[in-house]
Amino acid sequence: MRKILVVEDAQSLRKDIVEMLGFEGFQAVGAENGLVGVERARELLPDLIICDIMMPGLDGYGVLEQLRKDTTTATIPFIFLTALADRVDVRQGMELGADDFLTKPFHAAELLATVRARLDKHEIAQRASEQRLDELRGNIIMALPHELRTPLNIMLGFSDLLMSDAAIMDSGRISEMARHINNGALRLYRLLENFLLYAQTEIVLSDRHQIDVFRSRYCLSPKTIITHYATKQAQQSKRDESLSLNLEDAHSVAISEELLKKIIEELIDNACKFSAETTQIEVKSWVEGENLVVSVMNRGRGMTHEQIAKIGAYMQFERRIYEQQGAGLGLIICQRLMEIHAGTFEIESVPNETTTVTMKLPLMQGIDAPKST
């Protein structure tokens, strides 16, 4: 039985609404003023709240503001019940997080229809959220064990061989095993680095001061950085012959060299993983207004509109079908870094044809500080 809290200082109206909802199968509870309403909302955690605006002590706006600040009540659907029909009042309520308004006087059918509509909408949102959490759990279960065990098994296997048979191995064999161990360690290092960077971006996005600190950093001659790290990443993936660079330079962009390097590495690595070895990877840059635009295009599997919309942490698509490395953090890290630096990040893709990632980085204006790395 869905619980509904009715906050209304007019006793007769409060009683009528509670009885009306009770007849319709809801568990309705009344509160005679705003202060009592806040207490009962935190105590009962109702499925929906109906609240008058004009009340002594704590008015409806104050009730909503307090409940939206509390994580346990922040997402409860909230309907204002008011004699006020002014657009300014409605806007104020919506800005505080109200879900709907009912203007007095009202018909019972109108109240019930509004209540059911808001409950249904909230239920749909909850199901969508649960589905995303299920997908996240599934992707973590699929990706992380593989990404941790594979390099660890390589490192353990070759180090065991070296410890037991090094005395009878030639230098070439020892060097080959050391290379495999090193590659495994680098793979683990990158996984840890991406996890920490993703966690950092999520923290920074909630802190205005840290965002300002990040936006104060810059790098000079981004063309040089893009050329160097795109080429290096393509060589590591044995795709350097596939790489095509057509870059226009800018004096400076508002991002540190280290983070620009990270973005380029992730985008080139992604392009290499999801395209055939014989196809070309095109990297372009050009100045557009007050931004440097950088695009990376590959011809490969591509992504659907639905997949693009679902890009997030640990999100990998069709991993059961295709063998692929990575924990699904690369694209979301790039997207978050663009948000932090007031840039944009867009993906356009035609499945089984092309995928183009385009980002716009603000140019740095009025440089006085030393170069940041």
Distance of CA 284 to the CA centre of its chain: 26
Q: What is the pLDDT of residue 62?
A: 93
The amino acid that residue 113 corresponds to is A
Name 348's bridge partners. Answer: 356
Residue 323 DSSP SS3: coil
Q: For residue range 272-293, what is the model confidence (pLDDT) as tens digits? A: 988 888 899 999 999 999 999 9
The predicted structure's pLDDT at residue 46:
95
- Global pTM exceeds 0.75: no
pLDDT-derived band of residue 139, with 50, 70 and 90 as boundaries?
A: low
- CA–CA separation, 41 vs 47, rounded Å? 10
Angle at 270 between CA 267 and CA 275, to 5 degrees: 125
| Among candidate residues 106, 105, 53, the one with its CA nearest the CA of residue 80 | 53
Selection from 175, 171, 272, 285 nearest residue 222 by Cα: 285
Contact yes or no for 194/329 (Cβ under 8 A): yes
Query: In the chain, what are the domains?
Result: 3-106 (3.40.50.2300), 134-206 (1.10.287), 210-362 (3.30.565.10)
Q: Is 353 exposed, middle or buried (0-12, 13-18, 19+ CB in 10 A)?
A: exposed
pLDDT interval class at 167 (50, 70, 90): confident
pLDDT of residue 373: 41
Nearest CA to 267 out of 212, 323, 343, 347 is that of 347
Give the span between the Cα atoms of 292 and 220, in whole angstroms.
12
- Specify whether the CB–CB gap between 47 and 78 falls below 8 A: no
Task: State the DSSP H helix or E strand holding residue 311, giving kind and residue range, or none if neither.
Answer: none
Residue 254 predicted with pLDDT over 80: yes
d(CA 193, CA 177): 24
| Counts for the chain of helices (H) and strands (E), in that order | 11, 12
Question: Is 325's pLDDT higher than 90?
Answer: no
pLDDT(194) > 90: no
pLDDT of residue 99: 87
User: 1-54: per-residue pLDDT in tens?
Assistant: 899 999 999 999 999 999 999 999 999 999 999 999 999 999 999 999 999 998
Residues 6+ apart with CB under 8 A from 83: 54, 103, 104
Q: For residue range 337-363, what is the model confidence (pLDDT) as tens digits?
A: 999 999 999 999 888 888 999 999 999
CA atoms within 13 A on the CB side of 83: 5
pLDDT at 185 over 70: yes
Mean pLDDT, residues 57-63 taken together: 92
The DSSP H or E segment spanning 121 is: helix 108-165
Say whether pLDDT at 310 is over 60.
yes
- For the chain, the farthest-separated pair of C-alpha atoms sits apart, in whole angstroms, at 95
What average pLDDT does the segment 226-245 reach?
93
pLDDT at 135: 65
- pLDDT value at 318 more than 50: no
pLDDT digits (tens, 9 = 90+) for 109-118: 999 999 999 9
The strand pairing partners of 243, in sequence order, are 281
The tokens describing 13, both together, are 């109206």
What is the length of the chain? 373
Q: What is the rounded average pLDDT of the residues 134-140?
A: 62
Q: With bands split at pLDDT 50, 70 and 90, how would you rate the model's confidence at 202?
A: confident
Token digits of residue 261: 């390097």
Of 63 and 325, the structure prediction assigns the larger pLDDT to 63
3-state SS, residue 72: coil
Residue 324 pLDDT level (bands cut at 50, 70, 90): very low
CA dihedral 67, 70, 72, 77 (to 10 degrees): 30
What is the rounded distance in angstroms from the CA atom of residue 273 to the CA atom of residue 267? Answer: 10
Q: Cα 313–316–322 angle (5° rounding)?
A: 160
Q: β-strand 100-103 against 27-31: which pairing, if any?
A: unpaired
H or E element in which residue 61 lies? helix 60-69
Per-residue model confidence (pLDDT) at position 93: 75
Predicted confidence band of residue 143 (pLDDT cuts 50, 70, 90): low
Work out the end-to-end distance of the chain between its first and last CA atoms, rounded to an integer number of angstroms: 58
- As given in the structure block, the two tokens for residue 358 are 């385009």
The answer on pLDDT for 91 being more than 80 is no
* Tokens 């063309």 sit on residue: 223
With cut-offs at 50, 70 and 90, classify the pLDDT of residue 138.
low
